[in-house]
A and B are shown apart, each in its own frame.
Chain A
Amino acid sequence: MTTTHLGKIKGVNGNLIRVEFASPVAQNEVGYARTGNLRLKAEVIRIRGTVAELQVFEDTSDLHVGDTVEFTGELLSVELGPGLLGSIYDGLQNPLPELAAESGFFLQRGKYLASLDRKKTWAFTPVATVGAVVQAGDTLGTVPEGIFQHRIMVPFNLRGKLTVESVAAVGDYRVDQVAAVLVDERGGKHDALFHQRWPVKLPIKLFAERLRPTEPLVTKVRIVDTFFPVARGGTYCIPGPFGAGKTVLQQITSRYADVDIVIIAACGERAGEVVETLREFPHLEDPRTGRSLMERTLIICNTSSMPVAAREASVYTGVTLAEYYRQMGLHVLLLADSTSRWAQALREMSGRLEEIPGEEAFPAYLESVIAAFYERGGVVKLRDGGIGSVTIGGTVSPAGGNFEEPVTQSTLKVVGAFHGLSRERSDARRFPAIQPLDSWSKYTGVVPDEQVTFARGMLRRGNEVNQMMKVVGEEGTSIDDFVTYLKAEYLDSVYLQQDAYHEVDSATSSERQQYVFGRIHKVLKTRMQFAEKDAARQFFQRLTQLTRDWNRVAMDGPEFKELESRAEQMLAEVTSYA
Chain B
Amino acid sequence: MLKTYQQIEQIAGNVIVVKASDVGYRELAQVTSAQGTSLAQVIRLEGDRVYLQVFTGSRGVATDAQVRFLGHPMQVPFSEALLGRIFTGSGQPRDRGPAIQENMTAIGGPSVNPAKRIIPRNMVRTGIPMIDVFNTLVESQKLPIFSVAGEPYNPLLARIALQAEVDVIILGGMGLKHDDYLYFRDVLEEKGALARSVMFVHTAADPVVECLMVPDIALAVAEQFALQKKRVLVLLTDMTNFADAMKEIAITMEQIPSNRGYPGDLYSQLAARYEKAVDFDTAGSITILAVTTMPGDDVTHPVPDNTGYITEGQFYLRNGRIEPFGSLSRLKQLVNDKTRADHRTIMNSMIQLYAAYKETLEKQAMGFRMSVWDQKLLKYGVRFEKEMMDLSVNIPLEQALDLGWQILADCFDATETGIPSKMTDKYWPKK
Q: Please give 18 more A-B residue pairs, beta carbons under 8 A apart, in addition to A13-B45, A429-B351, A552-B420.
A: A12-B44, A61-B25, A63-B24, A64-B22, A64-B24, A88-B115, A96-B115, A100-B113, A107-B110, A268-B268, A271-B114, A272-B331, A350-B264, A399-B300, A399-B305, A427-B325, A501-B333, A545-B420
A241 to B259, CA, bound (A): 17
15 CB contacts below 8 A, A to B, read A11-B47, A12-B44, A35-B24, A63-B25, A105-B116, A106-B109, A268-B268, A271-B111, A279-B119, A360-B258, A361-B257, A397-B309, A399-B306, A473-B367, A534-B371
A308 to B27, CA, bound (A): 21
Asked if B73 lies at the interface with its beta carbon under 8 angstroms from chain A, I say yes
Asked if A136 lies at the interface with its beta carbon under 8 angstroms from chain B, I say no
Asked if B328 lies at the interface with its beta carbon under 8 angstroms from chain A, I say yes
**Cβ distance B349 to chain A, nearest Cβ, rounded Å:** 9
Chain B residues lying within 8 Å of A304, measured Cβ to Cβ, are 267-268, 271-272, 275, 310
CB of B265 within 8 A of CB of A361, answer no
Chain B residues lying within 8 Å of A475, measured Cβ to Cβ, are 368-369
CB of B271 within 8 A of CB of A541, answer no
Chain B residues lying within 8 Å of A60, measured Cβ to Cβ, are 25-26
**Of listed A60, A105, A107, A400, residue having the most chain B CB within 10 A:** A105
Asked if B7 lies at the interface with its beta carbon under 8 angstroms from chain A, I say no
Asked if B348 lies at the interface with its beta carbon under 8 angstroms from chain A, I say yes
A100 to B276, CA, bound (A): 17
**Cβ distance A309 to chain B, nearest Cβ, rounded Å:** 11
Interface residues of A in 380-420 (CB under 8 A from B): 397, 399-402
**Scoring B residues 412 to 431 as 1 if CB is less than 8 Å from chain A, else 0, what string do you get?**
00011011110000000000
Chain B residues lying within 8 Å of A63, measured Cβ to Cβ, are 24-25, 45
A61-B302 CB under 8 A given contacts A106-B111, A303-B114: no
Asked if B81 lies at the interface with its beta carbon under 8 angstroms from chain A, I say no
CB of B271 within 8 A of CB of A305, answer yes
Asked if B228 lies at the interface with its beta carbon under 8 angstroms from chain A, I say no
Asked if A243 lies at the interface with its beta carbon under 8 angstroms from chain B, I say yes
Chain B residues lying within 8 Å of A108, measured Cβ to Cβ, are 110
Chain B residues lying within 8 Å of A243, measured Cβ to Cβ, are 308, 313-314, 326, 328, 330
Which 3 A-B pairs give the minimum distances between C-beta atoms? A400-B300, A473-B368, A304-B271
Measured CB to CB, the nearest residue on chain B to A18 is B46
Chain A residues lying within 8 Å of B344, measured Cβ to Cβ, are 501
Cβ 8 A contact of A305, one of B23, B264, B275, B314: B275
CB of B272 within 8 A of CB of A545, answer no
Interface residues of B in 258-293 (CB under 8 A from A): 258-259, 263-265, 267-268, 271-272, 274-276, 278, 280, 283
Asked if A533 lies at the interface with its beta carbon under 8 angstroms from chain B, I say yes
A360 to B261, CA, bound (A): 10
Interface residues of B, CB < 8 Å — how many? Answer: 84
Where the two chains meet, the residues of A that have a C-beta atom closer than 8 Å to any C-beta of B are: 10-14, 18, 35, 59-66, 88, 96-97, 99-100, 103-109, 241-243, 268, 270-272, 274-276, 278-280, 301, 303-306, 308, 341, 344, 347-348, 350-351, 354, 357, 360-361, 397, 399-402, 427-429, 470, 473-475, 493, 501, 533-534, 537-538, 541-542, 544-545, 548-549, 552
**Cβ distance A407 to chain B, nearest Cβ, rounded Å:** 12
A135 to B271, CA, bound (A): 46
**Scoring B residues 209 to 252 as 1 if CB is less than 8 Å from chain A, else 0, what string do you get?**
00000000000000000010000000000000000000000000
Cβ 8 A contact of B420, one of A280, A399, A548: A548
**Of listed A103, A350, A545, residue having the most chain B CB within 10 A:** A545
Cβ 8 A contact of B310, one of A13, A270, A276, A278: A270
Chain B residues lying within 8 Å of A399, measured Cβ to Cβ, are 259, 300, 302, 305-306
Measured CB to CB, the nearest residue on chain A to B324 is A427
Chain A residues lying within 8 Å of B355, measured Cβ to Cβ, are 427-429
CB of A61 within 8 A of CB of B418, answer no
A17 to B162, CA, bound (A): 46
CB of B47 within 8 A of CB of A271, answer no
**Cβ distance B41 to chain A, nearest Cβ, rounded Å:** 10
Chain B residues lying within 8 Å of A12, measured Cβ to Cβ, are 25, 44-45
CB of B264 within 8 A of CB of A474, answer no
Chain B residues lying within 8 Å of A470, measured Cβ to Cβ, are 362-363, 366
